[in-house]
Amino acid sequence: MVGNIMRYHEKTLHLFPHGIMFHHFHDSGHHYKSEGSISASDFQRIIDFVGQEHILDPHEWARKSAEGTLAKSDVCFSFDDSLKCQIDVALPVLRKNNLRAFFFVYSSVFEGHIARLEMFRYLRNVGYESLEAFYDDFYATGFKSDLSEKLAKGLTVFPGESYLADFPFYSLADRKYRFVRDQVLAPREYDKLVDVLMQRKIPDIASVAKTVWMNRQDLKELTNEGHAVGLHSFSHPMQMAKLSAEDQRAEYQSNFELVKDTTGVIPWSMSHPCNSYNADTLSLLNTLGITTGFCANVKFPMRSGLEFPREDHVNVISALVAA
């Protein structure tokens, strides 16, 4: 098993402690296959590739971090975005291997809100025959709207392959779409545009939502089983760093209160949505007593206890295949 962890680090070139970040899982039931999603058997292969004994429990990770004793080969697992597929597909595999992980949840969905972020993903993958078909409809609809001029102007400065260069699994079309979503259109403009597509393709959003996100009982069970339930904001802004310090505080304070009230445990960990944060973010997290935080890439080793690097599981699968 020692060979496994060395092979993992040789293939991923990570010679520093880091997390592995998971999002979407698929099965033969409610959880559809989509870009980047993996199955239970894929997840088990990742565990075997890394080596079970090298995957630290969240509390052990925090303890070693505080002591300054994290080894270069130490790894932890983390799950973002409050997704039900993580409970249905990944959690049984964690139980089988007697592993514990971080679960970073955004809390609006536990209060009855339907988060567009995930619904739009469902739209892309279920409402269309292919991602290319979705992208074609997205731009066609946008250019027929009052956003046409803004879209045209924004696309002239799209930086191409250099945009989101830290995420090599994105295609050029993926990068272009995310550039338009995050840099060209204002959040309300983007929501309005994709809402048109949603109404056309997925009219019964409420029914779909029930299969997408965890519920409060899931958070209680995760806590009772020794996992760490941490913060991921209230509404999952795509550009947290662009929010005022006051708005950022509102995002994390409400998130903090929901996790604390639901689990009965004061949260002490978090991950930065879309890797977006600034000095205001770090300051308010310190004020909340958050001691362990994770980024969404491995661009640099840890710079502070709130900036541990994480590798995306898509890249781990690629390394595994190449091993």
Q: Which helix (H) or strand (E) holds 136?
A: helix 131-143
Could you tell me the residue range of the domain that residue 46 belongs to?
2-113+213-322
Q: Which helix (H) or strand (E) holds 147?
A: none
Rounded-to-integer distance, Cα 65 and Cα 57, Å: 12
Tens digits of residue pLDDT in 269-298: 999 999 999 999 999 999 999 999 999 988
End of a domain among 180, 201, 222? 201
Report strand pairing: 292-294 vs 269-271.
Answer: parallel
pLDDT score for 16:
85
Q: What angle do helix axes 131-143 and 116-126 make, rounded to 10 degrees?
A: 120
Question: 0.75 cut: is pTM over it?
Answer: yes
* Shared domain check, 138 and 278: no
* Shared domain check, 235 and 96: yes
* Shared domain check, 287 and 144: no
* Shared domain check, 139 and 93: no
pLDDT of 13 > 80? The answer is no
Place of tokens 């390394």: 319
As a whole number, the mean pLDDT across the chain is 92
Domains: count for the chain? 2
Question: For residue 299, what pLDDT band results from cuts at 50, 70 and 90?
Answer: confident
Question: For residue 1, what pLDDT band results from cuts at 50, 70 and 90?
Answer: very low
* Shared domain check, 318 and 222: yes
Q: Is residue 197 part of a domain?
A: yes
Question: For residue 318, what pLDDT band results from cuts at 50, 70 and 90?
Answer: confident
End of a domain among 174, 201, 228? 201
Q: Is residue 57 part of a domain?
A: yes
Question: For residue 205, what pLDDT band results from cuts at 50, 70 and 90?
Answer: confident
* Shared domain check, 163 and 229: no
End of a domain among 181, 201, 221? 201
Tens digits of residue pLDDT in 81-134: 999 999 999 999 999 999 999 999 999 999 989 888 888 888 988 899 999 999
* Shared domain check, 297 and 157: no
Percentage, residues of the chain above pLDDT 70: 95
